Structure 1
Amino acid sequence: MASYMQVDGLTKSFGDLVLFNEISFGIAEGQRIGLIAKNGSGKTTLLNIIAGKEGYDAGNIVFRRDLRVAYLEQDPQYPEDLTVLEACFHSNNETVQLIKEYEACMETKGNPGLQELLIRMDHEKAWDYERKAKQILSQLKIRNFDQLVKHLSGGQLKRVALANTLITEPDLLILDEPTNHLDLDMTEWLEEYLRRTNVSLLMVTHDRYFLDRVCSEIIEIDNKQVYQYKGNYSYYLEKRQERIDATNSEIERANNLYRTELDWMRRMPQARAHKAKYRQDAFYEIEKVAKQRFNNDNVKLDVKASYIGSKIFEADHLYKSFGDLKILEDFSYIFARYEKMGIVGNNGTGKSTFIKILMGQAQPDKGTIDIGETVRFGYYSQDGLQFDDQMKVIDVVQEIAEVIELGDGKKLTASQFLQHFLFTPETQHSYVYKLSGGERRRLYLCTVLMRNPNFLVLDEPTNDLDIITLNVLEDYLVNFKGCVIVVSHDRYFMDKVVDHLLVFNGQGDIRDFPGNYSDYRDWNEAKKQKEKEAEKPKEDKTARVRTNDKRKMSYKEKMEYAQIEKELEDLEQEKADLEADLCSGSLSAASLTEKSKRIAELIDLIDEKTMRWLELSEIEE
């Protein structure tokens, strides 16, 4: 395999904090590498260094000449005045630069160099760039291509950036948390897309199913060093444990030797100069090993839930809608003691709105909610990280409580409690602004759990948390003596934690499924297959079957394809205008009703035409 990139002796530190020290590894053609480390160990920093966005203290990074690299950042940024489609052309890759050259040539009198540009455009398949961009954006459920970037949510912007990196078809793709802000359908589409392509990959993700199915190698950063495992995530778990056991055995042996040698070194100190030099050198090497401690600290979530009575939470005939968009339609539910519910559904089906109604942060249009007297909520929300960056970590926790009650007369000080969450004394007295994204999430989780809740409501808790923290959080939730509601796109997390699912299908259609996510997915796939077979017409045995021929787009289909593109633009513009009118607050009740009905019609039309557009785009022109 040809070498794409080689990292040699790379060192990076921030002041006294050393993230990694003289690490070396390479990426070859066809390798798909997952990068794993605890929060704060430098995963994102390493990706930024490789992508040339951040400096380093020592070492070398060498790329193969003419290697095409694309990088999906954790928090991508684009100029606000760009449209979604323009953002997909906002990069320095060769194809985009070639398209710009071609456009400049066409605007120049006499079109100098046009013939050569046409040959290059054909060779690079640049003519398909815009169509491919729209295709991938549609798969990621971004369909208003003319919407300005400044009006996108953080999740939508991340999806536009993901589309931008995929469209370029690079040799090496670097992805930082690509599944954040993707719903389950999009995650599975991306998983399949990456498995089909030949692109080499370096990726940070907490989605363990994604990691297991996409990556063929794992690199772990631990204790400032890197360890490589030639296998997927399941293989990594097995071999990592072997490494831990071997390291612990080595340390134990070194400790025994160390005690013997220490006794020898201490004897007759006045004769130290006459001792064998090789024994002194060996002693210092043994001392280094013996004083090692394998860095396998875990977050210890042993906070006890407060008592919860038999009456928990009752939702009775709830209704909620925004215009013609229904979130809840005559929804009723009674929560049982110690119930663990997962909530799944595509983005925009109302999962977060439903949670806010349950938490009293939004009101239903109709219906009642009755909460038991003993219920104490712990709410972990997507937008709950509202810390003062100038506060110290210890002060954030002490503002809530100086001492945390664990039950059975046990107590922890705020500092001891933080140490259970892997915040060292040094980190505790650092400012919040110095924390990584994952460390901030861990601090937020700490502030939720330290209040001893007995009903946990977790809205996307897995984003930005490292896998080690997720493992311990999962174990904690499995043994939690209270109720749990989890909204998450992390399939592995849901499989381990929940007993059953509420599936949001959109427009108020909510179904209760008795099982975890994998159970639901298998059931759903079998259901779709059965429906497909039922709809399939009986085969005409006299008809000629041509399974291997690729059909060309007919003239009529080409005209339909172009017409649908124009219609979609018009429909999206009409929808945007109506949304602006609805938000203006100046409409009469009659106009409000009329425009709400029209928006619902537009959404159906856009979905219908987009599906036909995708069907046609699959046919060769």
Structure 2
Amino acid sequence: MSPILQVENLTKSFGDLVLFENISFGLAEGQRVGLIAKNGSGKSTLLNILSGKEGYDEGKISFRRDLRVGYLEQSPSYPEELTVLEACFHHGNTTVDLIKDYEHCMETEGHPGLDELLVRMDHEKAWDYEQKAKQILSQLKIRDFDQQVKHLSGGQLKRVALANTLITEPDLLILDEPTNHLDLDMTEWLEEYLRRTNLTLLMVTHDRYFLDRVCSEIIEIDNRTIYSYKGNYSYYLEKRQERIDAKTVEVERANNLYRTELEWMRRMPQARGHKARYREEAFYELEKVAKQRFHDANVKLDVKASYIGNKIFEADHLCKAFGDLKILDDFSYIFARYEKMGIVGNNGTGKSTFIKILMGLVKPDSGTLDIGETVRFGYYSQDGLQFNEQMKVIDVVQDIAEVIELGNGRRLTASQFLQHFLFTPETQHSYVYKLSGGERRRLYLCTVLMRNPNFLVLDEPTNDLDIVTLQVLEEYLQGFKGCVIVVSHDRYFMDKVVDHLLVFNGGGDIRDFPGNYTQYREWKEVKARHDKEQQAVAKPQAAAKPARTRQDEKRRMSFKERREFEQLEKEIAELEAEKKAVEEALCSGTLSVDELTEKSKRLPQLTDLIDEKTMRWLELSELE
């Protein structure tokens, strides 16, 4: 693989804050690299430097000659009056600049330099630029090319910017949080697109499934230093822990030796010979190692939720529409105590509107919503990030509460609570305006949790949060003694946190799925295969689509079907346990050849049985 980018001894600081110091790394053709660091460590700054949008203090950056670079910013912006198609010609890239040169040449008398421009237009395939833009926009489900940018949602704007980046077929693609604001279908489309192409990739993302499936190498910025791991995200986690464990042992050993050497230094020996001077110099080097500090990211936040009664909320016959766009269509639901619900669906299907109706911020067109008296909401919204820029971080949290109760007489001060969310004492006494976008999101999350809610409503909580913070939040939500509703496009996060999904299909069609996101995707694939097989064998016939009915109007289960339903639950659990045991045995490396053959044959049988019984269980669950 030939090198296309080399970074040597790069240093960047803002005043007293040093983001990274003397870091060096390179990219070779075809490499797919994920960049990981805590919020505020300089991920976006590094990408801005590489794209030429920001300067640096020291170091050297070398690109291969004629390298075409595409850069997707974390928060792209365009002039509001532009149409979608015009936006694809707005941000400068070599092809767009060439088209502009060609148009200028044609408007100039004598057409100076036309022959050279025609050759370059052919070489760059610039004649097809507009058609290519429309094709990629269509793949990204943007089909109104004349719609003005100001009318686009955050997800649509991100897709326009993504199309703008992909059109030129860059040699090096730099992506800053590409999955932010993208719905799940678009995230999976992009994942598959990147896996099919041969381009070189450098990417910052918090989406761990995306990172695992797309990247083959991880670069981490930690404590101003860069570390490289030749493997995917799962491999990185394993090797990073090994590095931290080894470093911890080294620091502990240095501390033990430091105490001995400190005592020698304090005695101030009179004879300062060569050996003494050497020992003194070694002492100062040892001191640097011994005084290193590590912030343990694996903290456990066990905050006591306030008491919540049996009655949570009951939605009855809710309807909501914006013109012809139906959001809720005769929706009824009774929320259970300690329930953890995930909400998924494409952008524009009404997920955020449903949350706002629940929070009393939007009124339904009809129907009632009855919320229990003991419910105390903690609401993390997409647009709720508002702080006094001149306040210190610690003051923002202390304005809400000086301490937070953990239960059993334990409590955390505001400062200790902030440290759980990776705000160092130094950062706590910094002003809000100095925080990065991800750090602001983390602070906003702290202000929500500090109020001791018993019902958390989190609307896209994973956007702009780093992976370390997500791990802290996941652990917190798993042990949270209250109710949770999460709207998120982060598949890994949903799998970790929720018990079941409310799937928004659009047009007021909302279905309850009893499982996490991965199980839902697997079920959809099984269902799609099943439907395709049914269509292939069925005789073509025109049949009216049965009208959707309310749950209480459906046919109820017979006694025999009820017994079958209960038996299926037991059988599916037993089959899944057997499947897990078989998979573990196959990975153990201890099986004989005969056992290996037997279990290899059994595994696909178990998968088919689980799929078959799950389909029947879902059919019966519709009658429950």
TM-score (norm 1): 0.83
Partners of 1:358 and 1:146 lie apart in 2 by: 35
1:445-480, Cα deviation, whole Å (9 max, x unpaired): 000001111111100000000000001100111111
Residue 241 of structure 2 aligns with which residue? 241
AA of the residue aligned to 2:65: R
Partners of 2:398 and 2:45 lie apart in 1 by: 30
Structure 2 residue 330 is matched with structure 1 residue 342:
no
Matching of residues 560-579 of structure 1 within 5 Å: none
AA of the residue aligned to 1:434: K
Residue 257 of structure 2 aligns with which residue? 257
Residue 409 of structure 2 aligns with which residue? 409
Do 1:173 and 1:202's aligned partners in 2 also have CA atoms closer than 8 Å?
yes
Partners of 2:420 and 2:474 lie apart in 1 by: 16
Residue 51 of structure 1 aligns with which residue? 51
Matching of residues 469-508 of structure 1 within 5 Å: 469-508=469-508
Residue 60 of structure 2 aligns with which residue? 60
Q: What's the offset of the Cα at 1:406?
A: 2.7
Do 1:339 and 1:484's aligned partners in 2 also have CA atoms closer than 8 Å?
yes
Matching of residues 454-603 of structure 1 within 5 Å: 454-536=454-536
Q: What's the offset of the Cα at 1:395?
A: 2.2
Do 2:351 and 2:487's aligned partners in 1 also have CA atoms closer than 8 Å?
yes
Do 1:299 and 1:422's aligned partners in 2 also have CA atoms closer than 8 Å?
no
Partners of 2:374 and 2:69 lie apart in 1 by: 55
1:254-302, Cα deviation, whole Å (9 max, x unpaired): 2232233334434463334565333333332222222222343456533
Residue 291 of structure 1 aligns with which residue? 291
Partners of 1:247 and 1:365 lie apart in 2 by: 60
Do 1:456 and 1:485's aligned partners in 2 also have CA atoms closer than 8 Å?
yes
Partners of 2:241 and 2:80 lie apart in 1 by: 47
Do 1:207 and 1:492's aligned partners in 2 also have CA atoms closer than 8 Å?
yes
Structure 2 residue 374 is matched with structure 1 residue 374:
yes
Residue 229 of structure 2 aligns with which residue? 229
Structure 1 residues 29 and 397: alpha-carbon distance in aligned structure 2, compared to 1, 3 A threshold: same
Partners of 2:381 and 2:479 lie apart in 1 by: 22
Q: What's the offset of the Cα at 1:342?
A: 0.4
Residue 578 of structure 1 aligns with which residue? none
AA of the residue aligned to 1:175: L
Matching of residues 203-222 of structure 1 within 5 Å: 203-222=203-222
AA of the residue aligned to 1:184: L
AA of the residue aligned to 1:156: Q
1:328-364, Cα deviation, whole Å (9 max, x unpaired): 1111111111111000000000000011111111111
AA of the residue aligned to 1:195: R
AA of the residue aligned to 1:380: Y
Q: What's the offset of the Cα at 1:71?
A: 1.1
Structure 2 residue 306 is matched with structure 1 residue 306:
yes
Partners of 1:92 and 1:268 lie apart in 2 by: 65
AA of the residue aligned to 1:125: K
SS in 2 for 1:405: strand
1:14-56, Cα deviation, whole Å (9 max, x unpaired): 1111111111111111111100000111111111111111111
Structure 1 residues 110 and 531: alpha-carbon distance in aligned structure 2, compared to 1, 3 A threshold: farther
Matching of residues 311-460 of structure 1 within 5 Å: 311-460=311-460
Partners of 1:268 and 1:378 lie apart in 2 by: 60
Residue 162 of structure 1 aligns with which residue? 162
Partners of 2:420 and 2:35 lie apart in 1 by: 25
Residue 577 of structure 2 aligns with which residue? none
AA of the residue aligned to 1:334: I
SS in 2 for 1:276: helix
1:523-555, Cα deviation, whole Å (9 max, x unpaired): 1112122223333489xxxxxxxxxxxxxxxxx
More off after superposition, 464-473 vs 391-400: 391-400
Q: What's the offset of the Cα at 1:148?
A: 2.2
AA of the residue aligned to 1:203: M
Do 1:298 and 1:469's aligned partners in 2 also have CA atoms closer than 8 Å?
no
Q: What's the offset of the Cα at 1:67?
A: 1.0
Q: Structure 2: give runs of 5+ residues left out of the alignment.
A: 539-624
Do 2:387 and 2:432's aligned partners in 1 also have CA atoms closer than 8 Å?
yes
SS in 2 for 1:320: strand
Partners of 1:434 and 1:254 lie apart in 2 by: 35
Partners of 2:268 and 2:93 lie apart in 1 by: 70
User: Percentage identity across aligned positions?
Assistant: 84
Do 1:139 and 1:186's aligned partners in 2 also have CA atoms closer than 8 Å?
no
Structure 1 residues 313 and 40: alpha-carbon distance in aligned structure 2, compared to 1, 3 A threshold: same
1:102-124, Cα deviation, whole Å (9 max, x unpaired): 33444456656555544433332
Do 1:304 and 1:407's aligned partners in 2 also have CA atoms closer than 8 Å?
yes
Partners of 2:225 and 2:419 lie apart in 1 by: 23
Partners of 1:150 and 1:258 lie apart in 2 by: 62
Do 2:35 and 2:203's aligned partners in 1 also have CA atoms closer than 8 Å?
yes
SS in 2 for 1:385: coil
Q: What's the offset of the Cα at 1:371?
A: 1.2
Do 1:298 and 1:422's aligned partners in 2 also have CA atoms closer than 8 Å?
no
Residue 195 of structure 2 aligns with which residue? 195
| Root-mean-square deviation (Å) | 1.9
| Residues paired across the two proteins, number | 538
More off after superposition, 495-504 vs 52-61: 52-61
TM-score (norm 2): 0.83
Partners of 1:343 and 1:528 lie apart in 2 by: 21
Residue 7 of structure 1 aligns with which residue? 7
AA of the residue aligned to 2:433: Y
Residue 96 of structure 1 aligns with which residue? 96
Partners of 1:496 and 1:29 lie apart in 2 by: 35
Q: What's the offset of the Cα at 1:2?
A: 1.3
Q: What's the offset of the Cα at 1:494?
A: 0.4
Partners of 2:274 and 2:535 lie apart in 1 by: 92
Q: What's the offset of the Cα at 1:61?
A: 1.0
SS in 1 for 2:271: helix
Do 2:501 and 2:512's aligned partners in 1 also have CA atoms closer than 8 Å?
yes
Residue 137 of structure 2 aligns with which residue? 137
Structure 2 residue 19 is matched with structure 1 residue 33:
no
SS in 1 for 2:506: coil
